[in-house]
Chains A and B, each alone.
Chain A
Amino acid sequence: MNGYDFTLAGARLVALGSGALYWPDQSLLCVSDMHLGKAERRARLGDAILPPYETHDTLSRLQSDLEMTGASTVICLGDSFDDTQAAQGLREAEKLWIARLQAGRRWVWIEGNHDPGPMDLGGTHLSELPLPPLIFRHIARAGQSGEVSGHYHPKVTLPVRSRTVTRPAFLIDSDRVILPAFGTYTGGLRSRDAVLCDLMRPETVAVLTGTTPRAAPMPRQ
């Protein structure tokens, strides 16, 4: 499998190049911050009308990860929708697509700050999900261990020869992993930001997403 293997609190995990996290022993796939319906929400607020293809694109990538891993459990780690109304506002075809992906799988929606309440889509809604030795929640908390979270969806900039490469990235240390955003229109927070530097241990590894995920020391300030 095209991924970066690592261990968190004894669990063997794989950071995929797509930005999804795979836990083979549990046949579990975790994605974070899809922000589905972002274009719809921006348009609703009277802002510019973004190309309305991001939900399609995000679901396509999720589907291909599910086909590749054959995962039987899916955890959406919060901010799956840009807001609650965006979840209602999905096109029928997109709602059906989500239902197709859910068929025959355990599906958990973790609440995020953008999508706190339950929605009329299948699956279980939880504020967080402990699956020892790991715990899945939207926003990382200091002092936890074995924690899988999203929310900050980091991006990393590396100097490469005379240019730079910026990509969404996983941040991994011995206590936690923070996932990059899986949503096509979700940006990222620089790894140099104080919040991430405070949260992550000095020996943190950043895994850059891309055709082949690449590990590098986390750039920090």
Chain B
Amino acid sequence: MLARAAEPSLLLIAPTGGGKTLAGFLPTLVDLAKSSHEGLHTLYISPLKALAADIRRNLTTPVEDMGLPIRIEDRTGDTSSARKKRQRADPPHILLTTPESLALLTSYEDAPRIFAGLKRVVVDEIHALAESKRGDQLMLALSRVQALCPDLRRVGLSATVEDPAAIASLLTRHPDPCEILLADPGPEPQIEMLQAAEPPPWAGGGAAYAIPAVMAQIRQHKITLIFHNTRAQAEIFFHNLWLANEEALPIGIHHGSLDRVQRERVEAAMQRGDLRAVVCTGSLDLGIDWGDVDLVIQVGAPKNVKRLVQRIGRANHRYNAPSKALLVPANRFEVIECHAALEAARDHDLDGEPRGSGPRDVLCQHILIRACSGPFQADALFAEAKTVGAYATLTRQEFEDCLDFCATGGYALRAYDQWQRLVERDGFWQLRDPRAARLIRMNIGTIQDSDLLKVRMKRARGGKPLGEIEEGFAASLTPGDTFLIGGQIVKYEGLREMVVEVSRDAARKPKIATFAGTKFATSTQLSQRILRLLAQPDHSMLPDHTSDWIALQANVSRLPEAGRLLIESFPHDGREHVCIYGFAGRNAQQTLGLLLTKRMEEMRLAPMGFVSTDYATLIWGLEPLKDAAGLFDKSALRDGLERWLSGNALMKRTFRATATIAGLIQRNLPQVRKSGRQATFSSDILYDTLVKYDPDHLLLDITRQEAMRGLIDFGRIEEMLDRIGSRIDLQRLDRVTPFAAPLFLEAGRTPVEGAAQERILEEETERLMQAAGLAR
């Protein structure tokens, strides 16, 4: 590290716990020990507030032991405003902060003075930031800081990634080179599939069958972490685990919807070694000392090999022993997926989806932040933005569109020229009303909470907070309903001032809680591996129950192949069914279901509904499919997409995020947080208005682009269509096939929309009026 201290950018890739954070600070400490320094010397950025506080403690001890005159402070959303004020007036030598707090610092008019003398910046866990808009915001903020301090040196610290060069190009000031240091990765991890007495079920994600085997593993290890893909699954598994926990081993739960106090309690108990196991989701991925964890269990297929490897790599590092992990497939198909993931991990074949160019909504926010700090020239800000790797290909036109959006709203109809948000005077852009800076600063950030409501025990004076649930889920509850949160079954009592009040309930079987937890789609690379595995002549490396199932499918119908598309058509239970094995991942298969049912409606096949998994979509309806080629015409599908997109809920959800980041919608207002008590209108109305009157607006353009990659994932449908060409195999069969059978058990069926929703609403309101005795 010291030998390379003068490099403009340096990326250090090492498994977690290898002391890489301290290594990142080494040049700073040497520099500060050698000679005194006025003001800020080094910035440290981490994705987590808790990590910043941890590092402050870990760094302060050796510095004080050596008697070095170095001031180290952290600055996050939790820091008091008095302290923040003092930090601005008199910055410490080393400031530990988060991307959002850094962006806020750059928004102050005295930013040049705050950052004067800054020499180095250390970006920790950059691999985690690289996958989100938080990383884009950070790099834009750093481009600003670098403009203030041209000699700034950058250091990135990353876990193992598939493409170090991609992370390096994010870190560096474009087009500066970035040297990459690869640390010894340590011994190979031991990953296996968990052997349970029972075979996994045909469908579902609960993995309840594996509870006894998992309990046995917990008994044999010091600390076991049990990862789940979704919060709901973690809750259910935790509940079932405790039902089987006869010795009452201390087992905790940790996920992003739980109250912060509860999460911190579990983290502290884990550090003290008081827990034998923690059921968790990705929220535990970062920021925890995993030293004593000696087993990682992943329940459900990992969906993404890179994430699996990063998780496993954290365990057991204290002893330089190999980390140990077990995969628990939740259903029969996941046995195949887990096997493919094991192979990929052994081959070091990590997956990564290319992220595309820098998101423009984040750029819009950056422009507003820049305006808060004082007048700026468009040329200079454009040049700065282009030094960020993700924005290196940004065109002047794209930049001007973003600037225009910030200044005037960017609408086709120019209504209120006198009320521009930004105005240009003598070649310098600035806030028309400097008081607007307050609102902009209050809304800095790119993290999107969907509308979550706090859950509390019902008490006379505010009971214990338990966590949060989605507003949509809360609205579907009626008093007396039970659901799981934080491992306990609670009864819904009512909603009071935007807090969900619950009481304890002794029921054994809850109505299931749904959380915002993302359902990850199986990565492209992993899907390809699964197809290759199916193509092998022999499947004896898989458990018998699974290889028999594959053999039966090959016998009855045929197996899906990489270069072809298998479609099965068969009658079942009085309905016609079509099963499409696209292997395009859950989101794309869901979109495919929506598009194909639209096409089938046009073809008068009377589709009624569909369900999707990561590998297939099952559609049911009244008429049999006889010709598949017409169904998969790429341009027809794209046309259908265009028509279907504009009214779609996923688009509206994507728009809400984009409009919030770009500053059209404020999450935080000076008085109080927006709540139902104030009469607010939803982002859906803005979306509908733009679609109707200004369909080419910048925010709609960004929304379409994001949705294509994210929730709608049309990119993977196109990738699939390119892969299969015209090689479509339509198998007409007289009954359900072995591979299609599990789809019948899958939850999350989507009825075909349109007239259906009005009809359901009519039925429901009539039922309610009858029940209330109000019917006429």
* Nearest opposing residue in chain A for B669, CB measure: A47
Which parts of A40-56 form the interface with B (CB within 8 Å)? Answer: 40, 43-54, 56
Instruction: Mark A173-217 against chain B: 1 for CB-CB distance below 8 A, else 0.
Output: 000000001001111111011000000000101001011101111
Given known contacts A46-B433, A91-B415, A216-B765, A51 and B697 CB-to-CB distance under 8 angstroms = yes
Of A163, A181, A210, A212, the contact of B472 (CB 8 Å cutoff): A163
The complex places the Cα of A152 from the Cα of B411 at a distance, in Å, of 31
CB distance from A161 to the nearest CB of B (A): 6
Q: Which of B25-33, B619-627, B658-666 lies at the interface with chain A?
A: B658-666
Residues of chain B with a CB closer than 8 A to A49's CB: 408-409, 411, 416, 419-421, 664
Q: Give A112 to B772 CA distance when docked, in angstroms.
A: 34
Contact A211 B679 (CB under 8 A): no
Is A205 a contact partner of B413 (Cβ separation < 8 A)? no
Q: Closest CB-CB distance, A187 to chain B, in whole Å?
A: 3
Tally A-B pairs: CB < 8 A: 143
1/0 contact string of A153-166 vs chain B (CB within 8 Å) = 10001111111111
Q: How far is the CB of B212 from chain A (nearest CB, A)?
A: 32
Instruction: Scan B446-483; emit 1 where CB is below 8 A from any A CB, else 0.
Output: 00000000000000000000000000100111100000
Nearest-neighbour CB distance to chain A for B671, whole angstroms, equals 13
**Taking each of B411, B681, B693, which has the highest tally of chain A beta carbons within 10 Å of its own beta carbon?**
B681
- Which of B145-153, B522-530, B630-638, B684-692 is near enough to bind chain A? B684-692
A165 to chain B, nearest CB (A): 6
Give the contact-size bracket for chain A. 35 or more
Q: Assess whether A48 is in contact with B664, with CB atoms less than 8 Å apart.
A: yes
Contact A215 B765 (CB under 8 A): yes
In the complex, the answer to whether A221 meets B494 with C-beta atoms within 8 Å is yes
Among A153, A161, A205, the residue within 8 A (CB) of B774 is A205
Given contacts A47-B666, A52-B413, A185-B685, contact A208 B765 (CB under 8 A): yes
B419 CB contacts on chain A under 8 angstroms: 40, 43-44, 49
Q: A48-B663, A208-B765, A216-B768 are in contact. Are A53 and B432 (CB under 8 A)?
A: no
State the CA gap A186–B436 with chains docked (Å): 23
Q: Identify the stretch in B40-48, B385-393, B561-569, B754-762 within 8 Å (CB) of chain A at 4 or more residues.
A: B754-762
Is there an interface contact between A164 and B472, defined as CB atoms closer than 8 Å? yes
Q: Is A39 an interface residue (CB 8 A)?
A: yes
A157 to B475, CA, bound (A): 7
Interface string of A134-160 (1 = CB under 8 A from B): 000000000000000000110001111
List 15 A-B residue pairs with CB atoms under 8 Å apart, sorted by A's residue number: A43-B420, A46-B421, A46-B431, A49-B421, A50-B409, A52-B415, A53-B413, A159-B764, A166-B475, A189-B676, A193-B676, A205-B769, A214-B761, A216-B764, A217-B772
In order of increasing CB-CB distance, the 8 nearest A-B pairs are: A49-B409, A187-B681, A52-B415, A46-B436, A46-B433, A43-B419, A217-B772, A53-B693
Residues of B within 8 A of A (CB): 408-409, 411, 413, 415-416, 419-421, 431-433, 435-436, 439, 472, 475-478, 494-496, 663-666, 676-677, 679-682, 685-686, 689-690, 692-694, 697, 757-758, 760-762, 764-765, 768-769, 771-772, 774
